[in-house]
Amino acid sequence: MSIQMRLNIAIGLLLVIALAGMIAAVRLDAGPRMRAENESIMRLTETIVRSSVTTLQHSDEPKARLTELVASLKNLRHVSVSLASTMSAGLNSKYNVPDSGGWWHAKDDVVSKPLRIPVEVSNGLLDTIIITPQPDDEMMELEEAVSRIFQVGVILGLCVLALTSLVINRSLRSIQSLNLAMHHLEDGDYAVTVKEAGPPEIRTISSGLNRLASALRKSRAENQRLTTTMIHVQDDERRSIARDLHDELGPYLFSLRTSASFLKRELEKSPPDHEKSQRLTGDMLSWVDQLQRTNRRVLHRLTPIGLAELGLKGALSANVAMWRRDHTETNLDFQIVGDIDALDETLQLTVYRVAQEGLTNAYRHSGASQISLSIAFDRSDAEKANVDGDRDPQHSNTTLTIVIRDNGSGFKANTQDGFGLTSMRQRISALGGQLTIETAPGAGTQLTAIFPGAVVANAQKLTETADAKTNDLSQAISVS
């Protein structure tokens, strides 16, 4: 059932209840009103009759005058005046009042007893005037009033229903626009805009939906920009590695091959020239050293060499020691809280790269005299107690935080990111983390990278799954 139908039914029920309440109120008020009305008309009629009867005693024809008096009072409402000598036999036996019946059934509660006024003349009792209450007129008036209330209430109720239905329909018309807009968002059309019209609540929802669509458009544009940048970065990295391999490894390998050929020829002579052989052997060893240094530099660009051997904490400590040794004029504060070596390989590499890039930027561009690097990784008590058990990533309290702060020159907040910061943002965003940079000219810079608990747990679980699959694959290869 639609909201409009429910509201119409609810309003209709309220109108019916209100109409029934009005009729019930009139019904409950009918008894006291009729009783007061009857008592009032009875007292008034009694006063008129008694004042008229006194004049009959001095009349020449009291009987005729009495008949005329009763006849003159025939048109009174809510009361009947008659003579006892002319009363008919079809009267109510209780009060000598005609029984009108009807759906009110309250006459016995509101009528009073008939009033008898004897009329005496000089020669004795002339007749008796009987004043009888007649509530039928009042009951008919009440029935007519109830009927009018019912008719007017039904007409007004229908008008109210029609008006409220129109207002509700116009108010809910905006919901159709909201529904259509959400379908567009679901289909990936973030250019949709909802007209902010209708009631305040609908306008608020429309405004929120427009802000959501705008945020999704910006997010899509940012993702496209990051994806494009990542592709360019990967291509540049591949070209750089290929250039290193071609420009550095290629000549060394060619020279090494040439020297090996000369050495082979020299050794084939009888007797060989030992001095020349030793010289060729030395050249080959020198080129092998150059190859190792080039290979180490390329591997370091791909992954830090000391990370696997020393662990994340050791690799970071070595990097910090290098900066302290090469830049003695700058005080570098380094702090680690928690067992960061428990992080998975991907997170360890990301932490190392973020710290490396952050310190590089601080030393190169800030001109700071004080730099601090702090890394905090603190697992919840529940996780510490159940390290080897199953963890729910959605309810993990583990958080990884990296903060790099300097007291240098700072920069404008709207400055476009360079290659290093762009790469850092991509790494952190790819893992579900968040990077914030707080800076101002002359106020230093603070770089904060936060990886929520669910991100850390998911990364660890993904690594565990990948390691398990790798082990299974290795075992399968070994068996085969």
Q: How many beta carbons lie within 10 A of that of residue 21, not counting itself?
A: 10
127 within 8 A of 144, measured Cβ to Cβ: no
Of 345, 338, 339, 266, whose CA–CA distance to 303 is shortest? 345
Task: Give the range with max mean pLDDT: 318-332, 390-404, 461-475.
Answer: 318-332
Q: How far, CA to CA in Å, does 191 sit from each of 70, 183, 204, 213?
A: 93, 12, 19, 7
476 within 8 A of 372, measured Cβ to Cβ: no
Give residue 230's region: left, alpha or beta (phi > 0; psi -120 to 50): alpha
pLDDT at residue 94 tops 50: no
Question: Which two three-digit tokens encode residue 3?
Answer: 């909201």
Cis ω on the peptide bond leading into residue 271 (within 30° of 0)? Answer: yes
Task: Tell me the domain boundaries of the chain.
Answer: 3-158, 190-302, 310-479
pLDDT-based confidence at residue 101 (cuts at 50, 70, 90) = very low
Residue-wise pLDDT for 270-297, tens only, equals: 787 778 778 878 878 887 887 777 777 7
327 within 8 A of 366, measured Cβ to Cβ: no
Residue-wise pLDDT for 401-424, tens only, equals: 999 999 888 877 666 666 677 778
Contacts of 361 (CB under 8 A, 6+ apart): 420, 421
337 within 8 A of 455, measured Cβ to Cβ: no
CA distance 373 to 321: 12
Mean pLDDT of 181-196: 80
Say which CATH topology domain 310-479 has.
Heat Shock Protein 90 (3.30.565)
Helices (H), 187-249: 200-244
Contacts of 76 (CB under 8 A, 6+ apart): 41, 45
pLDDT-based confidence at residue 373 (cuts at 50, 70, 90) = very high
Residue-wise pLDDT for 132-153, tens only, equals: 887 776 777 778 888 888 888 8
**Does the predicted model carry a pTM greater than 0.75?**
no
Torsion of CA 71, 77, 83, 88, to 10 degrees: 110
80 within 8 A of 111, measured Cβ to Cβ: no
- What Rg do the C-alpha atoms of the chain give, in angstroms? 53
In 3-state terms, what secondary structure has residue 432?
A: coil
CA distance 420 to 92: 111
Placement of tokens 């004043």 in the chain: 131
Residue at 471: amino acid letter: N
Placement of tokens 């190169």 in the chain: 364
Residue at 253: amino acid letter: L
pLDDT-based confidence at residue 383 (cuts at 50, 70, 90) = very low
Within 13 Å, how many C-alpha atoms sit on residue 145's CB side? 14
